[in-house]
Structure formats: C-alpha cells, structure tokens
A and B are shown apart, each in its own frame.
Chain A
Amino acid sequence: MIEVAADAQTQPNVIEMRGIVKTFPGVVANDHVDFSLQKGEIHALLGENGAGKSTLMNVLYGLYRPDSGEIRVNGTAVTFDSPRDAIALKIGMIHQHFMLVQAMSVTDNVILGLHTQGVLIGEKTAENKITELAERYGLKVDPKNFIWQLSVGEQQRVEILKALYREANVLILDEPTAVLTPPETRDLFTILRKMRSEGRSIVYISHKLEEVMNVSDSITVLRAGKVVANVKKAKTSKAELARLMVGREVIFRLSKTEAKIGTPVLEVERLSASNDMKMPALRNVSFAVREGEILGIAGVSGNGQRELAEVLVGLRRATGGRFAIGGQEVTTATPRTIVDMNVGFIPEDRVGLGLVMGLPILSNAIMKRYRDLSKGLLLDYSVASDYAGGLIKEFDVKTPNMRYPTKTLSGGNLQRLILARELAREPRLLIAAQPTRGLDVGATEYIRSKILEQRSLGRAILLISEDLDEILSLSDRIAVIYEGEIVGVVPAEGANVEEIGLMMAGSKRMELAS
C-alpha cells in the first residue's frame, strides 16, 4: 500500500475513485469512471447487467488491480494489492455469489483471515462476539452451524456479519436482494438504515430500480463501463433512471397476442425430489402446461426451481409422484429420452449446464442434432457446419468465426446460442429457467420476444423466473413456488402483485384443487 500526504481540503467523501480504467481480454469494463461515496450515505450503483458495477467495486475491494486511476480513502491515496489491504482500511464487500466455505462453521467463516493476536483460533471468544453482533443488528444466525446447513438468506447474514466483525465502515453489497424474499428484503433495508445511522457508508449495487429508489440517498448510473449520471434520489424518478441506464426509452411491457390454448403437453402430479444435500426440495408439486400457453413459476431463487427443472429434463431422480409429456409417462426417463421427445431446455446455469465452453461454437450449435447429422458412426462435419451457420445467422449470435471457442462469446450471445439450438428443433415443450438473468436490456428483450413467439406458434412453455416483472409480462398463468411447494396458481390477467409477493414469501397460501 502506498500512502501519500492527505489533502488539505477536508471532504466528507469517505471514498473517492478517479479515472478508474479496468480492461479484460476483449472488453473495457470500466472506462475512466469517477465515483465518490459520502460518509453516512447509502449510495446506489445502478446499471444493467454488464455495465461494470461489480468490476468497479472489486477494484475498490482490492480483488482487481485497475489499469489506471486513483483511489482515495478518507482523502489519502491508496493502492490495494489484495483484499487484505481493503479490509485493513475497514472496507467490506458482500458479493453476489457468497464467499463462504460450505464445509466450515459460521464462526470459522467469520474469523477467516483475520489478523488477531496469537496463533490459536480462539473459537469461544469469537462465538460470543458473533452472537452479540447478530443480536445487535437483528441478524439471526447460530455461529455453530455449518454453512451448508443454512438457507441462502441466512448465508447472506453471515456475509454481513463478516463485514461487521471487521468493523467495516464502508460496506459494499453486490445485488443483495437477488436471493431474498420481499420480507427478507425489507429486513435487509432496515439493517442498512441502522448502519447508516451509525455513520457507516454503504454502496448498493443493483439493477432494480424499485429498490434503488427505495433505499438509496444518491445514485450513480453506469452504462457500458462509463458513468452517465450522478444524482440525488430526491431529484430523480424511476423513469429517468431507466432511461439513463439503458440510453433510450424503455418499454416495460411487451405486447402479447391473444392466447390460443390447446391440450396439456406437460402434466406434473405430486412430484417430489431432494436436493444435493438429500433434503427435500420439491414437495408434491402438481401443475400442467398446455399448448400455446406460458405457465410462469414465480419465486425467489432457492425454493426448488432448479430441482424442478432438473427433474423435468431427466437430470434428477424424482423421489415421488410422476410427470408425463404428451401423455407419455417419463418420470424415470433418461435425459436422452426426453431430448428425443422434443423438449427444449434453457437451463438456469448457462455455462455449467447449457454449454460446453471449451468446444467451438459450431459444436455447441449442433449439440442436439448431431445424431441426425451423422450417418452411422461418422459425423458429417460439412453438413453440420452448414446447419450451425444457418442457426447462428438466424439468431444473430455475434461471432467472427463459429470455429472459435464458445467462451469467446458474451453473455447475451451465449444465451442466443442456447436459444438457437433449442428452438431450431421446434420443441413442443420449452422449459426456460431464469432465461434473462444477467443479460442486458437488448438481449433480454430479444429473448422474451422469442419466447412469446414460441407461444404464438402453439408450443407449451414453462417459464421459471425470479424476476416477477418477467413473469407478469410473459405468463398466461402464474404459479408461485415456496419451499418446494406450489402455494398458489393465478391467471396472469389482472393478477394482484401484492398477493403474489406474499405467496412468494410464504405468508399466504391458496386452496388448490389437488
């Protein structure tokens, strides 16, 4: 860390970042960004996915080294070699993907990496301190538990405790509400306001306008790596922020054609399944999806959606119940059978389950048709590349050469590739899980319009999404999932958002015909 003499001018700015530039191979993530954080404020860093918000804060936290630019903490210029330096200056960060060691206890995770006196861990003292902190801030958590035993919301509380334990004066939160129910979100805001009243300063990274307008004092808007605005909340509006974020007028709702519903394609009856930890994830779930209809499964991530999708495509064994596609029972079918039944799957985990990143784009494009493109044992690569080329053009996957490795594609193009591959087979049933997560507005609009197009072609679509806006704008019917159970099914037309929110939080249930 290099320290330079403090400025003579006393600024209430706890953090000042000037001219930050950070590039990765192929992309400029931060393009001469200026950012200041005042003491005792909640400052939102707003921008759509890929705008550079997380990158900027990773620079502040010492995880990334900026290519150029200056950072000042309390007026003193600093350089961070690693998070250790940031932590020493009382900066704490809670990442979108939690940085917790699953196999270790809450206590161990909280004290990890701390420089205190002595060689020993000092478990008892730490436990007491953690319990005391937890009570003070209303963060209910038992220090003796192991992380893998905790729910996602509880894990986030551990992350917050980590920062508080290190007496963080500056707290950075990266998309914290992605994994929270509405009531948990309210609790989080209460905690943040309490911290603010103690004089701590908070950076709140988000792409959700509603929350930003709710909790922040000032807002910096990033777009494509550059700062486009820095405003006080009181002086702006949701519409203006949206426009700043995207650079043009944003249409909040897509137009839907009249529904033409047919016979059921997917019928699910009292389906149950366990998660990777052998705990129940799906409990007696029943629903049906018909031709020409979009059934939206609403719910906060982590309530069984992932397991549901995996069971329906044959990747996970059901522990009870049954389901059928086109009248044919497939409860114990292999993924191969289900693929052959012309089911399309857009998985939640694009990179982990949807694509083979190391292979050429061409290979991923033909991944579901390669058997048809083969004669006997041999795969005809020239026919395959014609086919792939056609797909890539039709779905506008931007790449200079389809023989390049798939990992050279950006997030939006990866999803277009997956979409291309799945939709080209004209699937009678499409299962789409979190299809627009992490994508910029342009890609999001494209994906959603394609899904609506499938609907008007008479396909059956199961849409699983944590984005309630998306569910509301695309679905014909909405089912709410909470802790593995369907707690309510309502028609999308005239749906009561408040009621859905309550169901998502488990506070309300509907009587459902069994």
Chain B
Amino acid sequence: MAGFKITVERRLLPSRRLEIAAPVFSILVALVISAVPISLGGVNPIEGYYELLYGALGNKLSLTETFAMFSPLLLCGVAVALAFTCKFWNIGAEGQLYCGGLVAAFFAVNAGGLPAPVAIPLMLVAGFLGGGAWAAIPAVLKVRLKVDEVVTTLLGNWVMYYLVSAILFGPWRNPKTGWPESPIIAESTFYPILVPGSRFHLGIVVSLLIAVAFYIILKKTKWGFELLAIGGNPASSQAMGISVAKQIILAAIVSGGIAGLAGVGQVAGIHYHMKTDLSPGFGYTGVVIAMVGGLNPIGVVLASFLMAVVVQGTQAMHRATGVPWALAEVIQGIILLCLLVGIFFTKYRVRMVKA
C-alpha cells in the first residue's frame, strides 16, 4: 500500500455551511459531468448549456413555460417530502397524481352549471380527495398489515396508470375526437391564465401556497412536530403517546392529496382533458426533488425550480441543437447521484492521513 491511508469518520455535528454548500456543489459537479453526454451527442457543452438556460429562462415564453412545469414538480416534491418526513416512503406520487386528475376531471367535465369561484375550489377538493384516497390504500396496508410501502406505492402507479388507460380507451373516450382522452372539462373549471399569452396558470400559485403550507406545518405546528418524531423513531413516538398509525395514514393522505393537486393542475391548467399522458414522470422526479431538497420546504422549492429548468431547457436544447430529448432524464439522474455523494460528505469526514 502507498504511504497514505484514507480515513472515514462520522461527523458528530452537522455543519450548517456544509449542508448548504454540498447540494450546490453537487449540482455543479453534475452539470460538469453531464457535459460528457452532451458532447458525445455532437454538441458543444457550452453552447448546449446556453441554449438550455435561454430556453428555460431567456424570454417571457420560456419563463412562463418553465413555471408551468415548475408547478406540478413542486407539488410532487412537497407531497413526497411530507411523506418522507415521517418515513412513509411514498414512491406512488405518480399514481396519486393520475388519480387526483381523474377524479377532478370527472367533476370538471360535469360541472357545467357552476360558476368558476365555486367550481374551481370544488375541483381542487375533488382532486385532493382522489389522490389522497389512492395513497390511503398502501398506508393502511403498511400500518395494519406491515406491508412494505415502497413496493405497494410503486406498483400502485402502474395499476392506476392502466386503470386510467382502460377508462380513457373505453367508456370515457372523448366522443368528439375519438382519442383516448376524456371529454373537455367545463370552461368554468379552466384554471385562469395569469400572464396573458402564456400558459402561466392558477395552478402555479396553488403550488406555491402549498409549499408555504408545508413550511408552516413543519416549523410551526404540533402535527409537524409529531411527523418529525415519527420519522426519527416511531417506537419512541408511540411510547410518548403519539398515535403513530393514525398520523402516518393522515400524512399519506395529505401527501397523496397534494400529488393529486398536481394532476388537477395538469388537467385544468394545461390539457383541459384527462389524458393518459398527463405526466411525464412528475411523481418520480418528485422523489428526486424531495431528496435533493433535503426534505425541507425551501430546498424543495429550489430543487423543483432547478428540475423545471433542466426539463424545459433540455427541450429547448433539443430543438436548437438536435441533442436527444432523453438527455433531460440523464441530467436529472446525474444530479441526484452527485447529490448522494454530496450527502455522504456532509455525514462523514474523509481525510488522507500518512499511514
């Protein structure tokens, strides 16, 4: 062995500075590493990144599109972060999103007579309940029967996806167009567009409000305290009198509900129909966002925006330079993996010592 030894020891105290520096640094490293696939695609990385940034933030259209993508990502990120806080590993945000969208669309399609100020809140409630109900199933299974929620929420995504597909190819197929989508939703349930000439819709505000609510819950409420305790040690929490089972189910329902709101946003803000391709994987990206954001509300907001920039920008990069669209997923994955390395360095101190 050479004259050096690498020692790894656990840090006793988390360092505030490191906890902020590590994610930032990891993201930068990830972007540097991502330059490799970009150049393999025959594109100059600098040019590619320029197109990415311009395409995501450069002009009014790009910016509003980025926000339109930011909204469901933020909702899914918050949904997952909330569940993860009490260690309910909700990988099912995708399915909850679809269920929420489905139920909300069902309401919205039939809401013709209602005025918007009544219809929209009701639609939100419907979507929340839809997503929440879908999340309740794996939660009850976990709490009552000790069935692992990672697998049930994951598989649940596919069940819901096929259910939606069966419905939209079958009894609820749009009679006007014949496509596998629902009939159009009532006009009063369309999310108002807040920036004329763009797709910047009400849902974006909804998602920011939810993020604020998440912050308040965690930092200021009894419930947030209980969730943190349960996530830290469910057995101790139970011994202290916290009703762990009830709180986990509640957290799962709220988490699913928030993901459901993402579905509502896609239906009422973008597509105006229920569709089989409502989400290009927002629920899964939500897991990435929750982890990258360190399960804390500010981090989740920042991470969601980052991911929105990446997805939106890569689309633009694709249009401008011909780089394959799949790059977006590659970059997302690399960011997460680099982040895991960063997290390692916040937990452990690594030193090179002369042996």
Query: Could you tell me which A residues sit within 8 Å of B by CB distance?
Result: 24-26, 313, 315, 334-336, 338-340, 345, 347, 352-359, 363, 367-368, 370-371, 374, 377-379, 381, 404-405, 408
- Given A356-B232, A367-B229, the answer on whether A336 and B222 have CB atoms closer than 8 Å is no
Query: How far apart are the CA atoms of A422 and B228 in the complex, in Å?
Result: 20
- Given A368-B241, A374-B222, A377-B223, the answer on whether A25 and B9 have CB atoms closer than 8 Å is yes
**In the complex, are the beta carbons of A356 and B236 less than 8 A apart?**
yes
List B contacts of A339 (CB < 8 A).
240-241
**In the complex, are the beta carbons of A379 and B225 less than 8 A apart?**
yes
Tell me the smallest distance from the CB of B349 to a CB of chain A, in Å. 8
Query: How far apart are the CA atoms of A133 and B11 in the complex, in Å?
Result: 45
List B contacts of A315 (CB < 8 A).
238-239
Q: Which of A25, A313, A374 contacts B11 (CB 8 A)?
A: A25
Q: Which of A26, A353, A370 contacts B239 (CB 8 A)?
A: A353
List A contacts of B223 (CB < 8 A).
377
Say yes or no for B145: interface residue by CB 8 A criterion: no
Nearest residue (CB) in B for A349 is B235
- Given A378-B220, A405-B13, A405-B14, the answer on whether A356 and B229 have CB atoms closer than 8 Å is yes
Tell me the smallest distance from the CB of A434 to a CB of chain B, in Å. 15
Say yes or no for B174: interface residue by CB 8 A criterion: no
Nearest residue (CB) in A for B239 is A353
Nearest residue (CB) in A for B231 is A358
The A-contacting residues of B in range 217-267, CB under 8 angstroms, are 220-225, 228-229, 231-233, 235-243
**In the complex, are the beta carbons of B10 and A335 less than 8 A apart?**
no
Say yes or no for B352: interface residue by CB 8 A criterion: no
**In the complex, are the beta carbons of B241 and A377 less than 8 A apart?**
no
**In the complex, are the beta carbons of B235 and A408 less than 8 A apart?**
no
- Given A25-B10, A352-B233, A357-B232, the answer on whether A379 and B222 have CB atoms closer than 8 Å is yes
Nearest residue (CB) in A for B238 is A335
Say yes or no for B32: interface residue by CB 8 A criterion: no
Q: Which of B12, B225, B232, B241 contacts A336 (CB 8 A)?
A: B241
Query: How far apart are the CA atoms of A7 and B173 in the complex, in Å?
Result: 89
Contact with A along B130-164 (1 / 0, CB 8 A): 00000000000000000000000000000000000
Query: How far apart are the CA atoms of A345 and B239 in the complex, in Å?
Result: 9
List B contacts of A368 (CB < 8 A).
240-241
Tell me the smallest distance from the CB of B7 to a CB of chain A, in Å. 9
Query: How far apart are the CA atoms of A313 and B238 in the complex, in Å?
Result: 10
Contact with A along B7-21 (1 / 0, CB 8 A): 001111110000000
Interface size on B, residues (CB 8 A): 26
List A contacts of B239 (CB < 8 A).
313, 315, 335, 345, 347, 353-354
Tell me the smallest distance from the CB of A348 to a CB of chain B, in Å. 11
**In the complex, are the beta carbons of B241 and A335 less than 8 A apart?**
yes
List B contacts of A345 (CB < 8 A).
239
**In the complex, are the beta carbons of A340 and B241 less than 8 A apart?**
yes
**In the complex, are the beta carbons of A378 and B222 less than 8 A apart?**
yes
Which residue of B221, B225, B232, B241 has the most chain A CB atoms within 10 A of its CB atom? B241
Query: How far apart are the CA atoms of A356 and B237 in the complex, in Å?
Result: 8
Q: Which of A313, A355, A378 contacts B221 (CB 8 A)?
A: A378
**In the complex, are the beta carbons of B232 and A359 less than 8 A apart?**
yes
Nearest residue (CB) in B for A375 is B222
List B contacts of A405 (CB < 8 A).
13-14
**In the complex, are the beta carbons of A352 and B236 less than 8 A apart?**
yes
Query: Could you tell me which B residues sit within 8 Å of A by CB distance?
Result: 9-14, 220-225, 228-229, 231-233, 235-243
4 new A-B contacts, CB < 8 A, other than A26-B12, A339-B240, A355-B233, are: A338-B241, A352-B233, A352-B236, A367-B240
**In the complex, are the beta carbons of A379 and B228 less than 8 A apart?**
no
Tell me the smallest distance from the CB of B67 to a CB of chain A, in Å. 31
**In the complex, are the beta carbons of B221 and A377 less than 8 A apart?**
yes
- List 18 interface pairs A-B (beta carbons < 8 Å), by A numbering: A315-B239, A335-B238, A335-B241, A340-B241, A347-B239, A354-B239, A356-B236, A356-B237, A358-B231, A358-B232, A359-B229, A359-B232, A363-B228, A374-B222, A378-B220, A378-B221, A381-B220, A408-B13
Query: How far apart are the CA atoms of A314 and B27 in the complex, in Å?
Result: 47
List B contacts of A358 (CB < 8 A).
231-233
- Given A368-B240, A408-B13, the answer on whether A363 and B222 have CB atoms closer than 8 Å is no
Which residue of B11, B224, B229, B236 has the most chain A CB atoms within 10 A of its CB atom? B236
Nearest residue (CB) in A for B243 is A336
- Given A340-B241, A379-B220, the answer on whether A25 and B12 have CB atoms closer than 8 Å is yes
**In the complex, are the beta carbons of A353 and B12 less than 8 A apart?**
no
**In the complex, are the beta carbons of A363 and B225 less than 8 A apart?**
yes
List A contacts of B237 (CB < 8 A).
356
List B contacts of A336 (CB < 8 A).
241-243
List B contacts of A352 (CB < 8 A).
233, 235-236
Tell me the smallest distance from the CB of B264 to a CB of chain A, in Å. 25
Q: Which of B9, B12, B222, B243 contacts A377 (CB 8 A)?
A: B222
Nearest residue (CB) in A for B11 is A25
Which residue of B13, B14, B240 has the most chain A CB atoms within 10 A of its CB atom? B240
List A contacts of B12 (CB < 8 A).
25-26, 408
Query: How far apart are the CA atoms of A378 and B222 in the complex, in Å?
Result: 6
- Given A25-B11, A334-B243, A335-B238, the answer on whether A357 and B233 have CB atoms closer than 8 Å is yes
Query: How far apart are the CA atoms of A25 and B15 in the complex, in Å?
Result: 14
Tell me the smallest distance from the CB of B243 to a CB of chain A, in Å. 6
Query: How far apart are the CA atoms of A405 and B16 in the complex, in Å?
Result: 13
Q: Which of A24, A26, A359, A408 contacts B228 (CB 8 A)?
A: A359
**In the complex, are the beta carbons of B221 and A356 less than 8 A apart?**
no
List A contacts of B10 (CB < 8 A).
25
Query: How far apart are the CA atoms of A338 and B241 in the complex, in Å?
Result: 8
Nearest residue (CB) in A for B234 is A356
List A contacts of B243 (CB < 8 A).
334, 336
Nearest residue (CB) in A for B5 is A65
Tell me the smallest distance from the CB of B260 to a CB of chain A, in Å. 22
Tell me the smallest distance from the CB of A91 to a CB of chain B, in Å. 23
Query: How far apart are the CA atoms of A198 and B91 in the complex, in Å?
Result: 59
**In the complex, are the beta carbons of B13 and A370 less than 8 A apart?**
no
Tell me the smallest distance from the CB of A387 to a CB of chain B, in Å. 14
Tell me the smallest distance from the CB of A338 to a CB of chain B, in Å. 8
Query: How far apart are the CA atoms of A374 and B236 in the complex, in Å?
Result: 20
List B contacts of A357 (CB < 8 A).
232-233
Nearest residue (CB) in B for A358 is B232
- Given A25-B12, A26-B12, A352-B233, the answer on whether A335 and B240 have CB atoms closer than 8 Å is yes
**In the complex, are the beta carbons of A353 and B236 less than 8 A apart?**
yes
**In the complex, are the beta carbons of A353 and B235 less than 8 A apart?**
yes
Query: How far apart are the CA atoms of A339 and B232 in the complex, in Å?
Result: 20
Tell me the smallest distance from the CB of A332 to a CB of chain B, in Å. 15
Query: How far apart are the CA atoms of A359 and B233 in the complex, in Å?
Result: 9
Nearest residue (CB) in B for A367 is B240
Q: Which of A334, A363, A377 contacts B229 (CB 8 A)?
A: A363
